[in-house]
Amino acid sequence: MPGDFDHAQLTKRPPWQHYTVLVAGLALISGVGLYYFAALGVAVITLLYLLCVLWAAYFLRFGHALLTAVIAVLLINYCFIEPRYSFGVASLQSWAMLTVFATLAFMVSRAMQQLKQQRQQAQQAAQQSRFFQSLAELLAIQSSVARLLQAACQHVQEVFGWQVGVVQLSDTDALTWLAGAPVASLQASSVQWALDYQRAIGMGTADWPELGACLLPFGSAQHEVLVVVGHTSADLHFLRLLTHQCAQATIKLRQQIALAQAARDASEADFKKTLLTALSHDMRTPLTAILGAANVLADGDIALAPAQATQLLQSIQAEASYLTQATENILTLVKLEAGSSSLHLDWASPQEVMQHVAQRYLQRTPAVRLQMTLSELGSQEILFKADAVLVAHALANLIDNALQWREEGSTIEIAMSLEASSLVLSVRNQGPGFPPGFVISAFESSKSAAAGVRGFGLGLSIVQTVMQLHGGQIEIGSSADQRTEVRLLLPFVYAADLIKADT
């Protein structure tokens, strides 16, 4: 997971254990050398003592290694150099051997110390690299500045055990803790000094080392200060890198939030423009037609044949029906703009939703040729959680689209079936179908209606948005009998399972 960091601490043994091992090693070599002196000889025993010096140089300090070398020289001189059991040296060869051993012990100890320091620095660099990588992954998934800073402080405390916080100085010189536990002894004056001079102050620095904490400003363009307590094992360079990463992540997140807000503002402005354009086009035209037909019917000076009067009445009815649908689309567009917070979700029966929509079309004059097909679902009742009004409106939009593009006199079919784990509501019609590669796209206010086609095509976009808000899908294709088919796929449950879960 993001932020995970393997920070296994190196187990440090108490110093007395190392001293015990070293003394035991010297004693063991001395005992083995005395017992097997004739077989081993002075040269082999000297090499064994050199191993003790190397061990001391690796696990202890350089001074301990030198002390071990001195003790080894004395033991070799006393126990194994003629005259034995005295500190006298009888020959130049013995002096040369002791001198070479001491010099070699010094040089090897020095080299071992340097090697140990390089290894520790490499381990520290690798640990810091893993830490910064894990911190970057953790900060990248935060959605707010407050959560980002809190996650950073918590992660540092989990890894290193330091008390870390982020403080901000207000215009009234009041300290506001944005993350981490407050430090009671921290004064506003010290925070102000760090911000004014953009320098780290406090523990581990040359400025105000008596503060008991280290204060590191985020940067000249920011007003936050990182406060670190109990960091005696860290160097100032590492703390500056930590502060820089937190500051950069904060700047990036604030920029992302600002861009997202700007995008929302632009989307809202475009939505308002879209709404006004739709109102102007989708309402003015049918209102003009209705008003014209009504004026003709109301004018007593115009003699109309019964067929003409009937045609005008049917025109008024058709335009009023279109106006109703356009109004519902615009109101639905307003509701969908509010997102999922505007939904009124409840358990509903898909059969009832379909019957309600079908009844509206069957009651028209003349009635729409509409056929409703329910696949065999067994004895179990099907329910789905949705805003039934929006789903019904989406289904009505599909029927209106099918009516506009169907072949004259053909029947529109609405069907319900179960497919895998989805409830499928389908609308089928005999018509030209959708062009190859057709994709439902968001409404574009600058796009004009095609010649002979009314409206701006809000219907399918609204259907797609309704499906997205309900966790469903919309599919466009052809049915088995080569009719155009639009399918709405929604999650569902069996009513018996729902009742069982409630009990």
- Per DSSP bridges, beta strands 473-478 and 422-429 are unpaired
Query: Looking at the predicted structure, is the pLDDT value of residue 89 above 70?
Result: yes
Ranking 42-51, 190-199, 492-501 by mean pLDDT, the lowest is 492-501
> Which of 88-102, 239-253, 393-407 has the highest mean predicted lDDT (pLDDT)?
239-253
How many whole angstroms separate alpha carbon 464 and alpha carbon 334? Answer: 15
What's the pLDDT score for residue 8?
A: 41
Query: Looking at the predicted structure, is the pLDDT value of residue 481 above 60?
Result: yes
Query: Looking at the predicted structure, is the pLDDT value of residue 466 above 70?
Result: yes
CB atoms within 10 A of CB 393: 21
**pLDDT digit string, tens, across residues 358-397:** 888 887 767 788 988 887 766 678 899 988 888 888 898 8
- Scan for tokens 């109101």, then name that residue: 331
- Scan for tokens 């001074």, then name that residue: 63
Q: What is the pTM of this model?
A: 0.50
Ranking 175-179, 185-189, 271-275 by mean pLDDT, the lowest is 271-275
DSSP result, 326-356: HHHHHHHHHHHHTGGGG---EEE-HHHHHHH
| Gyration radius of the chain's alpha carbons | 42
- Scan for tokens 């179960």, then name that residue: 418
DSSP result, 202-271: ETTSSS-GGGSSEEEE--TT--EEEEEES-TTS-HHHHHHHHHHHHHHHHHHHHHHHHHHHHHHHHHHHH
Q: Could you give the angle at the alpha carbon of 417 between the alpha carbons of 414 and 423, nearest 5°?
A: 105
pLDDT band, very low/low/confident/very high, at 333 (cuts 50, 70, 90):
low
Percentage of the chain exceeding pLDDT 90? 22
Ranking 100-109, 327-336, 477-486 by mean pLDDT, the lowest is 327-336
- By three-state DSSP, how is residue 137 classified? helix
* In 387-482, beta strands by DSSP E: 412-419, 422-429, 473-478
What's the pLDDT score for residue 225?
A: 92
Give Cβ neighbours of residue 451 (< 8 Å, ≥ 6 apart): none
388-405 and 350-362 helices, crossing angle to 10°: 40
Mean pLDDT over 265-294 rounds to 73
What's the pLDDT score for residue 447?
A: 43
What's the pLDDT score for residue 289?
A: 82
How many whole angstroms separate alpha carbon 56 and alpha carbon 105? Answer: 11
What's the pLDDT score for residue 442?
A: 47
CB atoms within 10 A of CB 106: 16
Mean pLDDT over 322-346 rounds to 69
Tokens of 294: 């009504």
- How big is the chain, counted in residues? 503
41 φ/ψ sector (left φ>0, alpha ψ -120 to 50, else beta)? left
Query: Looking at the predicted structure, is the pLDDT value of residue 55 above 80?
Result: yes
Query: Looking at the predicted structure, is the pLDDT value of residue 448 above 50?
Result: no
Query: Looking at the predicted structure, is the pLDDT value of residue 444 above 50?
Result: no
Query: Looking at the predicted structure, is the pLDDT value of residue 456 above 60?
Result: no
How many whole angstroms separate alpha carbon 403 and alpha carbon 410? Answer: 9
Helix (H) or strand (E) holding 214: strand 214-217
What's the pLDDT score for residue 305?
A: 85
What's the pLDDT score for residue 271?
A: 59
**Cβ atoms of residues 455 and 449 within 8 Å:** yes
What's the pLDDT score for residue 11?
A: 41
What's the pLDDT score for residue 112?
A: 83
Mean pLDDT over 297-325 rounds to 81
Q: Report residue 163: phi and psi, to 5°.
A: -85, 115
What's the pLDDT score for residue 10?
A: 37
Alpha carbon 451 to chain centroid distance? 46
Tokens of 72: 């080894």
User: Could you tell me which residue, 62 or 323, shows the higher pLDDT?
Assistant: 62
Helix (H) or strand (E) holding 371: strand 370-374
User: Could you tell me which residue, 335 or 157, shows the higher pLDDT?
Assistant: 157
What's the pLDDT score for residue 39?
A: 86
Q: What burial class does residue 487 get, using C-beta atoms within 10 Å of its C-beta: 0-12 exposed, 13-18 middle, 19+ buried?
A: buried
CA distances from 230 to 162, 167, 213, 227 (A): 5, 17, 7, 10
CB atoms within 10 A of CB 426: 21
What's the pLDDT score for residue 336?
A: 66
What's the pLDDT score for residue 451?
A: 40
- Scan for tokens 């206010």, then name that residue: 445
Q: Report residue 428: phi and psi, to 5°.
A: -125, 145
Tokens of 31: 């005992």
CA distances from 412 to 355, 359, 400, 486 (A): 14, 13, 10, 12
Q: Which of 53, 65, 101 is nearest to 80 (CA)?
A: 101
Query: Looking at the predicted structure, is the pLDDT value of residue 154 above 90?
Result: yes
